[in-house]
Structure 1
Amino acid sequence: MDDDITQTKIIMEFFTNNPNRDIQHPEVVDWVSEEWKKRTGKAFRDPDRQIRQLAQSGKLQKIEKGLYRYNPDFISNPELEDFSQSQKNEILERDNYRCVICGKGREYGVELHVDHIKPKDLGGKATVENGQTLCAQHNFKKKNYKQTETGKKMFIRLYELAKNIGDAETQSFCAEILEVFEKNGVNGHIKWER
């Protein structure tokens, strides 16, 4: 057994041997679990978590839920994709120092973050156009869901609230937006009950 082998190295070995290819999560898990067992005689515990951590650290690109890619060119300079302080200042000023989702600013006691609209791990660039101001709460939610998922869930909640209080105008507005999601097949796994 190679004493230097780690579970992270096994995962990266798989991806570096398959560069620039969109790879479904099960293919990675099956290979790394089998390879780890061959090399160590032990079971690989929770490869899912380590794959996510590699994507979050910028070593892999998360293309969509359960689909990852290793792009050596993207990985070589991940620090280039961080916003500079002057870009952060410009984005905050453009967004009036308010979260673009809820409208809250520092006067509400919220912490503001400058966020990539298209995430870094999906190839998003550090440009002012790709930046937005989010409160800590909405930035955290976006990290757990793709932005379109967060948006669809927000409009479903607003639709339900408007329906419950009899606000037909807001209900109609939300329905129009949710129909666009459905018409274009965006986030079909999130169900909207009319």
Structure 2
Amino acid sequence: MKKAFSQLDLIMEFFKANANKDISHPEVVDWLTKEWYKRTGKVFRDPDRGIRSLHQKGYLQKINKGIYRYDPNFVNLREDLEDFTPALKKQILQRDDYKCVICGMGQKEGVELHVDHIKPKDLGGKASLENGQTLCSRHNFLKKNLKQTKTGKKMFIRMLESAKENKENELVAFLEELLSIYEKYNINGHIVWKKDN
């Protein structure tokens, strides 16, 4: 039986047709969304995720932020990268009550949910219950772009500002203590937070 043509196949088709060229995200995404719709009549929901996946697996080289290249002589396949099985995804979603572990939004609010590797798979993170978490599409995007500790620190700073505005003193004390730990261990020191005196 012939394997169905997938979105990843289409991404590779584009890069193989443009081998050894540095391709920017907008160029490939524009072509993918138009071509997928032309061939299937369906919307290509997340081409960025597919491109990242092919990079993580070793098919594409990341040249710079948002720029990828396919070089047939330098394909470096990573067989050790683990994806969550459908059964494990379901288990993680159930454990997290079908809500983003960062913001608490979920299916009831119409939010798209993703099962995410806490430790990224390209850094050796396993597809396990312990290394899985439920994130909304927004926080999954933020995590990928800011890395987890940066995302967390920025989120706690925003939460602190909101708690101060609403005069939620216990929450203010908790968040200030949490942010002081970031400062104590110089985690993401480039993200500035100073405790009010």
| Pair in the same fold by TM > 0.5 | yes
Partner of residue 125, structure 1: 126
Partner of residue 135, structure 1: 136
Structure 1 residues 122 and 56, CA gap change in structure 2 (3 angstroms): farther
User: Deviation at 1:164?
Assistant: 2.8
Letter in 2 for 1:165: N
Q: Distance in 2 between matches of 1:185 and 1:54?
A: 29
CA deviations over 1:132-188 (Å, ceiling 9, x no partner) = 011111111111111111111011011112223333221111000001111112111
1:32-181 → structure 2 map (5 Å cutoff): 57-58=55-56, 59=58, 75-78=77-80, 80-181=81-182
Normalized against structure 1, the TM-score is what?
A: 0.62
Q: Secondary structure at the match of 1:133?
A: strand
1:9-20 → structure 2 map (5 Å cutoff): none
**Number of residues of Structure 1 aligned to a counterpart in Structure 2:** 137
CA deviations over 1:80-132 (Å, ceiling 9, x no partner) = 41111111111111111111111122111011110000112222111111000
Q: Secondary structure at the match of 2:130?
A: helix
CA RMSD of aligned residues (A): 2.9
More helix by share: 1
For the 8 Å contact 2:55–2:61, the answer to whether it is kept is no
Q: Distance in 2 between matches of 1:54 and 1:141?
A: 14
The answer to whether structure 1 residue 6 and structure 2 residue 20 are counterparts is: yes
Q: Distance in 1 between matches of 2:54 and 2:144?
A: 9
Q: Secondary structure at the match of 2:119?
A: coil
Structure 1 residue runs without a partner (length 5+)? 9-52, 63-73
Show structure 1 runs of 4+ deviating over 6 A.
Answer: 53-56
Structure 1 residues 193 and 84, CA gap change in structure 2 (3 angstroms): same
Structure 1 residues 76 and 162, CA gap change in structure 2 (3 angstroms): closer
